[in-house]
Structure 1
Amino acid sequence: MKQFSRTALFFLMFPALFLTGFSSGEKPVKATWLWQTYQTASAPDQIVAFAAAKGVNLLYLKIDTSLRPSYYHTFIQKARANGMEVHALGGKSGWGLERNRPEILSLVDWVGRYNQTVETDAAITGIHLDIEPYTLPEWKSDQNEVIRQWMGNVNAYVTKAKELDPSLQVGCDIPFWLDKTALPDQPVVSISEWLISRHDHVTVMAYRDRAEGPNSISALVTQELEMADRLGKKVIVAVETKESNEGNFVSFYEEGTARMEDELSKLSELLASHPSFAGVAIHSYEYWSVLKE
């Protein structure tokens, strides 16, 4: 039997990979999540001013698909006018299961309807999913079956988004440790590598409070960056600002904004050898905006 390299194996398995980049070109990404979607109506200027002052150029904006597209129009237009791309954010742990696939696809449909109603300067330029099925009880009882269903959902929403608009960026969040979990029936391929292959970019939740050294931000993302390098994809490295009960080393909650910015500034040099490294993300606006200096 002919032996293939891991890279060759991937392109045999997934011949229609999307190799598009960010429309912002080579400018490093600085992203954040906005989960409390009602704030786009109650405090739009405050959010945009904060994000612009911090250099944010990519906003993952939680979308409530029960709301009319017009609800978000003014806010997204303000964000775009201040140099930010906006990606529609959604996600639940249960979105890893096939029975919830219609909910995911409804988000993709919503983005399509929204973009049909607005001018280019207010368009949503991507879709970003935060799906964490490894927190479900089913993950413990039948992990392989959950992974199969998760993969099916990913294939469905990526395909639908690209059919809707090939220029839409499709991304997802993944934890750094998922690279130790193999695909069912593909023990040489991790679920992390497969997720990287299917998306334009992934945001790796490397929740640590120092840039270098053992158990640091840069140390946790090495494998993901190497995978993305091979596959021609992009990786955004994310940190946490919310108080954590897992230990003081997880979040910048204790250290504050100045220390966080100092540590993040080191990553461009530490990770410079990886063409896949696209920038950083801070989770999330709700906690970052009240983080001590």
Structure 2
Amino acid sequence: MKKTLAMIFAFLLTAYSMPYSPVSATEGKGDVNADGKFSTADIVSLQKWLLAESNTKLADWQAGDFSADEKLDAQDLCLMRQALVSPAENSPLEKLVGMTYADAVQNGYISKSEYNYQIAGELKSAIEEKMGRPLDYSVDRFYLVHSDAIGLSDTTQYLYNAATKDVYVVNTETNMNRATWYWKGSKAALYGIDNNTTVQNQFLDAMEFYGITEIYYSIGANKLVNNADMVATFVKNAYARNMKVYLLTGEKTWLYEDTYQTAIYRVFDRVEEYNQLVDADARIAGVSYDVEVWTNSEFNWKNNDSARYQQIKFIETAQKYADSKNLSVSYCLPFWIPRYTYTDDDGTVKNVYDTITKISNNTILMAYRDSASAVEKLVAQVQTGAEKSALDYAESNDCNLEIALQAAETSEGDHVTFYEEEKEHVGYINSAIAEMQSDLAEYRYRTTFAIHQAIPLYEHYLTK
């Protein structure tokens, strides 16, 4: 019998140099070692066991019973070899590798909006090791894989990178993204944030204290290129702290097509030009628009259907151009925008925010109040004239909703800002955000937070 087995084994050994497709242990039998995969190691173990080598034990002998006769013999070994060397049909996850972002979204394999948690720590290390290079925020965009849509267990999460067209395991969950606006006005110059290394480090320490992972950096599109060295220094410092930086721009006059050259094309062209001038760790991830056309009395936005239609066209054009440049883009909007409709080209009346969330991947709603419950009410309740809450519009259209809070002193009153609360207890706004994250947990993969703005946060931090 042993002679017969030895002849079979000699034949089987030729399989080890042949190409094969490893089979996941969850997809079929074969994993007698119970190590989570079916490979040549399992064939070797079964071979040794059949030869009665005293030190060989099978962790799961039933996994090797290919003939289903409740025993292991040479026939099972032959069937195991055949199963291993036969081409395996790709799982949906394997098919996702090499697929374009557009196709992956169309197939329902990944989210349309970017992964809303920070890429840091063990997760970052594992991704960089697999890529063979450091992260480059100007190209690396990660999207959550819809495990249920491709037949995978939801016990493990995966990220798809549009740049590498590869998939990465989420080995640890990091912090939810949190943004802030760095408006570089007189106070920024007074403190010397952009030209004093010590102050800049202290400023970024403050941002870390407030959980900031994304900074909207205010500078003109042309100045971005003309002052590339200054910008690069700041971005590199932020990058070292796992923070992304975006160009912050916008004018309340940017609405009609005659503004597109300045408001859209030049903006993204300059970001692209800047990114080509600097090192990978100094590159900008995209653009954050603060285009508050509803405050421009000339447009009469609230009472002018045409103005609302033009805003849709502006966002649509900006999104398409951003996509063509492989850059991220977000749009700052008032919390009450779901109340309004517009008339589309075909005469259909549509909800403004519903359409925006279909077009874009990230919207920012200024939900300025001074308590977690009051902020939640603005985004979670259905507003007059709307069919859904802002959260549900974003969720149903696979768009991230960035809930923006106010931390600056404002003439609009204490009820719209956490300024007084933060002044009395530094870090109060962190507690409020933690409360909202808990309350809105069902939307955890479609929400992030933002704090307006960085300078007041820095000033609060200095009083600690």
TM-score scaled by length of structure 1 = 0.85
Are 2:440 and 1:274 equivalent residues in the alignment? no
Residue 241 of structure 2 is aligned to residue 89 of structure 1: no
Q: Following the alignment from structure 1 to structure 2, what is the Cα–Cα distance between the partners of residues 180 and 41? A: 44
1:275 Cα deviation from its structure 2 partner? 4.4
Structure 2 counterpart of 1:247: 413
Which string of whole-angstrom CA distances, capped at 9 and with x for unpartnered residues, describes residues 33-71 of structure 1?
Answer: 101176433553332222123221111111222322333
Q: 1:218 aligned to 356, 360, 376, which one? A: 376
Quick one: which of 304, 310, 314 aligns to 1:143?
304
Name which of 168, 175, 181 aligns with 2:340.
181
Q: Which amino acid in 2 is paired with 1:219?
A: K
1:99 aligns with 2:250: no
Letter in 1 for 2:415: F
Within-5 A mapping of 1:57-72 = 57-67=213-223, 68=226, 69-72=228-231
Q: Does 1:34 align with 2:192?
A: no
Q: Where in structure 1 are there 5+ consecutive unaligned residues?
A: 1-14
AA aligned opposite 1:245: S
Distance 2:272 2:375 in 1: 36
Amino acid at match of 2:217: L
Identity, % of aligned positions: 24
Alignment of 1:250-269 (within 5 A): 250-256=416-422, 257-269=426-438
Displacement, 1:258? 3.2
RMSD: 2.4
User: Alignment partner for residue 134 of structure 1, among 279, 289, 294?
Assistant: 294
8 Å Cα contact 1:138/1:146 also seen in 2 = no
In 2 relative to 1, CA 184–40 (structure 1 residues): closer, same or farther, beyond 3 Å?
farther
Structure with larger Rg: 2
Shift of 1:233: 1.3
Aligned to 2:42: none
In 1: Cα distance, 2:354 partner to 2:219 partner: 27
Q: CA shift at 1:107, angstroms? A: 1.2
**In the superposition, relative to structure 1, how do residues 290 and 187 fare at CA in structure 2: closer, same or farther (>3 Å)?**
farther
Q: Which amino acid aligns with 2:180?
A: T
Alignment equivalent of 2:398, drawn from 226, 232, 236 = 232
Q: Distance in 2 between matches of 1:158 and 1:277?
A: 19
Give, in whole Å, the separation in 2 of the partners of 1:157 and 1:126.
12
For 2:221 and 2:282, how far apart are their aligned partners in 1?
A: 17
Deviation at 1:276, TM superposition (A): 4.5
Contact 1:29 / 1:236 at 8 angstroms: preserved in 2?
Answer: no
Gaps of 5+ in 2: 1-105, 120-172, 381-388
In structure 2, distance between residues paired with 1:243 and 1:53: 20
Q: Is 1:19 the equivalent of 2:112?
A: yes
Change (3 A) 1:285 1:263: same
Corresponding letter in the other structure for 1:102 = Q
- For residues 137-216 of structure 1, the aligned pairs below 5 Å read 137-140=297-300, 143-165=304-326, 168-185=327-344, 189-212=350-373, 216=374
What is the aligned counterpart of 2:237 among 78, 82, 85? Answer: 78
Question: Which one of the candidate residues 207, 210, 218 is aligned to 1:51?
Answer: 207
Structure 1 SS opposite 2:419: coil
Structure 1 stretch 153-162 or stretch 172-181: which is displaced more? 153-162
Query: C-alpha distance in 1, partners of 2:292/2:445?
Result: 23
Residues 235, 276 of structure 1: 8 Å contact kept = no
SS of residue in 2 equivalent to 1:172 = strand
Task: Give the whole-Å Cα distance in 2 for the aligned partners of 1:114 and 1:28.
Answer: 28
For residues 417 and 355 of structure 2, the distance between their equivalents in structure 1, rounded to whole angstroms, comes to: 27
The answer to whether the 8 A contact 2:300-2:307 is kept is no
The amino acid across from 1:57 in the alignment is: T
How many angstroms apart in 2 are the aligned matches of 1:219 and 1:56? Answer: 24
Measure how far apart 1:188 and its partner are: 5.4
Considering fraction of residues, name the structure with more strand. 1
- How many residues align? The count is 273
Task: Identify which of structures 1 and 2 has the higher relative contact order when contacts are C-alpha pairs closer than 8 Å and 6+ apart.
Answer: 1
Counterpart amino acid of residue 390 in structure 2: E
The CA distance in 1 between the partners of 2:115 and 2:281, in whole Å, is: 16
Question: Which stretch has the larger CA shift, 63-72 or 41-50?
Answer: 41-50
Q: Distance in 1 between matches of 2:325 and 2:283?
A: 14
